[in-house]
Structure 1
Amino acid sequence: MTSTIAVILVLGGLIFFHELGHFLVARVLGMGVKSFSLGFGPVLLRRTVGRTEYRLSALPLGGYVSLAGESPESVEEDTDFPESQRFMLRPAWQRLLVVLAGPVFNFVLGWLIYWTLFLAQGQVTLYQHPVQEVFDDSPARAAGIEPGDRIVAVEGSKIYSPSDLLTTILFSRDEAVSLTVDRAGVLREVLVQPAFLSEADKNDEILPRPKIGISFSVEPLTVPLGLDLGAGAALHKTVNAIDMTFKSFLMIVEGRASLKGVGGPIMIAQAVGEHAQAGLADVLLLAAFISVNLGILNLLPIPVLDGGHILFFGFEALTGRPVNELIRRMATYVGITFLLALMALTFYNDIHRILFS
């Protein structure tokens, strides 16, 4: 029961916050909002304020915003709103801002969750990695790393998550990784070139796994909140999550990672349920990461997604003319087809993972 509630609250909350971004920016810019719903499906409660109907719907997994004149087809239909409030009749840059607000709010939500956790704990937890063993003929050995060294920073940044080192190496993309090593109190910068240490690592069916050839432990180090009360640390974690998500998408597009690792709603629900058993903090950390993923996903330049609309409105803002209607329709059909194929892939992967993993 706890897991089910956690899944509803996390997924519903993230999508709702995304829609809240669209709603607030539309209102600030003076656009008409026909309805704003918390949840989907049959309407349980409704109240009209001005020309906007606020709804509480039966399915709590998200929400939606309906703007006046939000499509070329509805511009002439929404006569309850003056032309100045109809979405498609507003300048392209304003429409772009409304669409962009959804993904931006997902990033802001991720940052707010991280910051809230730091404030609740009254401290920021950093991590260090004492090196226990350096393997022969490994990149770490070649770089001069020795047992007893302590890795205290990765790519010049403090380590805010125990997985930062591993994910940085995993997504290094054939580039050297900068590590800050503490040896007997003396800090030194070390450049290490990750490599495949075995055929199994190189040919992993999901994601090839470059390594640097060390074994290490994870040592948490708590520090009091600074003058920014942890806001900077929260921003670092948010930027890091954005970077890792972007690199994951890029590796899939480049064929460097397998589509077998792509998951959908079932995998997300399983992850939220598992984290719910570990406590509220774990659920919130996962929610922040999923929020960032949702923001990146919606920014992909695919028609139907926010990124596709941003592409169209950006073109219109730069050239002063809208995208050709035929091109827009064809691109939309292609986008819908792509999303349906992606949904089918994620459901297949999720079900296959449940049945055979």
Structure 2
Amino acid sequence: MQTLQVVLATVLMFFLLVSLHEWGHFYFARRAGILVREFAIGFGPKLFSVKRGETRYTIRLLPIGGFVRMAGEDPEVVDVQPGQTVAVKLKDDKVTRIYLDRLDERSNVLRGEVKSIDLERDLHVRLDVDGETMRLNVHPQALMVARGRETQIAPVDRQFGSKPVGKRALAIFAGPVMNFILAFVLFGIAIQMSGIPAEHPTKVIIYRVVDASPASEAGLKNGDWIQSVNGQAIGGDVDSFVKLIGDSAGKPMKWVVGRGGAEVPLTVTPGSDGKVGIYPGPEKRSPGIGESISMAGQSMAHWTNVIFDGFRKIVFGEVGLKDMSGPVGTTKVTLDIARQGLPYLTNWAAILSLYLGIFNLLPIPALDGSRLMFLGLEAVRGRPIDPNRESMVHFIGFAMLMLLMVVVTYNDILGLVRK
């Protein structure tokens, strides 16, 4: 891949992993009737924002995740109190807009002092308009306008906490599930693109030549197949081929490779470590759909074990902070893999998607796993945990995750500088 293609492919990969995860939350929240206020990719200041229907879609500065903001999860930022002067706009005898500022600039509105207001259950507002008290019904999708921003009201039946535990749990669990589904699909696609070893291989293929390596300097190219080494026919025996290279550290070797129907003689000198900088393998064939599905499942199981083994090493102190990577380190690895070709990037994206799904299900405050744990406790107790306490737990957890992100990012940058 060329540099621009590598960068674009990397950006698209991260966008796909995060957006599909958040889409899972979004879709099942909407199905449950929950008002979704924002669908965001990234954190921090907004770079792009557009509103479609009830939801605002945003791309934010820090590409370290995303979120779906549902009504009722956090305290509403706009509030109206009795005694406050507001202006309201009516349509079909219902309030569709409530203006909280710049009242003199509003046209075709009623202006008055709020005597009482209920925007969650009874959906009404009582206004004192020139000494006359008027009771007005409020539309369930009415907007409150303040400081140039419009905020849709959230009747109680549109709020996250009003829905049954099962529907709320599904809206939370759907995010990681989307990552698992994506991982399975990407593993299958990678297998289709890469192929699988033939049952009785007769060739050793060079699938990748490392830049600035002995193999690259000798003129080897991706796709070459090894006919002979020092006069010895190789056939499809990868192990004996690798052993020949390892036994010839620092010694010139005479290779004959097949390339485009021609025989190309080359002199290759392994480094002192007995390596030449290639990724050899047996010839491959295209797998059937059934084989791809089966092998994708095997890849899911293998990498799940690898991921949990990594978590175990962190818990028992076998891996320290200096060994962990953050967004910078992950991006560097992704760029390196993208340069190897689309099949490698696809397989890496599958691994990252699987990791993202598993990580989000850990019972760590602020992650989906912690929110599911609170919902489980609510189901057992028969009543919800105090929302303020739960919010505090998630806030502290989020702050700790951001602190960890800063530390590992610092380590990533320090490692790049030292190199």
What is the CA–CA distance in structure 1 between the aligned matches of 2:37 and 2:348, rounded to whole Å? 33
**1:52 alignment counterpart:** 55
The answer as to 2:74 corresponding to 1:71 is: yes
What is the CA–CA distance in structure 1 between the aligned matches of 2:62 and 2:196, rounded to whole Å? 33
**1:162 alignment counterpart:** none
What is the CA–CA distance in structure 2 between the aligned matches of 1:326 and 1:31, rounded to whole Å? 20
Q: Is the 8 A contact 2:35 2:154 kept in 1?
A: yes
**1:31 alignment counterpart:** 34
1:304-339, Cα deviation, whole Å (9 max, x unpaired): 111211111111122212223464244234313421
Q: Is the 8 A contact 2:190 2:344 kept in 1?
A: no
**2:190 alignment counterpart:** 117
Residue 19 (structure 2) aligned to one of 13, 16, 22 = 16
What is the CA–CA distance in structure 2 between the aligned matches of 1:301 and 1:38, rounded to whole Å? 23
What is the CA–CA distance in structure 1 between the aligned matches of 2:414 and 2:47, rounded to whole Å? 35
The answer as to 2:119 corresponding to 1:85 is: no
> Mapping of 1:273-284 within 5 angstroms?
273-284=335-346
Q: Which amino acid aligns with 1:10?
A: M
**2:173 alignment counterpart:** 100
Distance 1:79 1:11, change over 3 A: closer
> Mapping of 1:203-352 within 5 angstroms?
220=282, 222=284, 225-226=287-288, 228-325=290-387, 327-352=389-414
**1:203 alignment counterpart:** none
Distance 1:337 1:229, change over 3 A: same
Distance 1:235 1:343, change over 3 A: same
Gaps of 5+ in 2: 78-118, 121-143, 145-150, 201-236, 238-278
TM-score normalised by structure 2 residue count: 0.56
Distance 1:38 1:308, change over 3 A: closer
Distance 1:221 1:88, change over 3 A: farther
Two-structure CA RMSD over aligned residues (Å): 3.3
Q: Is the 8 A contact 1:26 1:33 kept in 2?
A: yes
Number of paired residues?
Answer: 268
Gaps of 5+ in 1: 129-149, 151-216
Specify which structure has the higher proportion of helix: 1
1:98-118, Cα deviation, whole Å (9 max, x unpaired): 111111211111111111223
Identity of matched residues, %: 31
Q: Which amino acid aligns with 1:331?
A: V
Specify which structure has the higher proportion of strand: 2
- SS state at 1:263 partner: coil
TM-score normalised by structure 1 residue count: 0.65
Distance 1:333 1:126, change over 3 A: farther
What is the CA–CA distance in structure 1 between the aligned matches of 2:364 and 2:392, rounded to whole Å? 12
Q: Is the 8 A contact 1:6 1:272 kept in 2?
A: no
Q: Which amino acid aligns with 2:52?
A: T
Task: With a CA cutoff of 8 Å and minimum separation of 6, indicate the structure with the bigger relative contact order.
Answer: 1
1:178-232, Cα deviation, whole Å (9 max, x unpaired): xxxxxxxxxxxxxxxxxxxxxxxxxxxxxxxxxxxxxxx9854746534625112
Q: Is the 8 A contact 2:189 2:346 kept in 1?
A: no
- SS state at 1:230 partner: helix
Q: Which amino acid aligns with 1:48?
A: R
CA displacement at 1:93 relative to structure 2: 2.3
Q: Which amino acid aligns with 1:101?
A: A
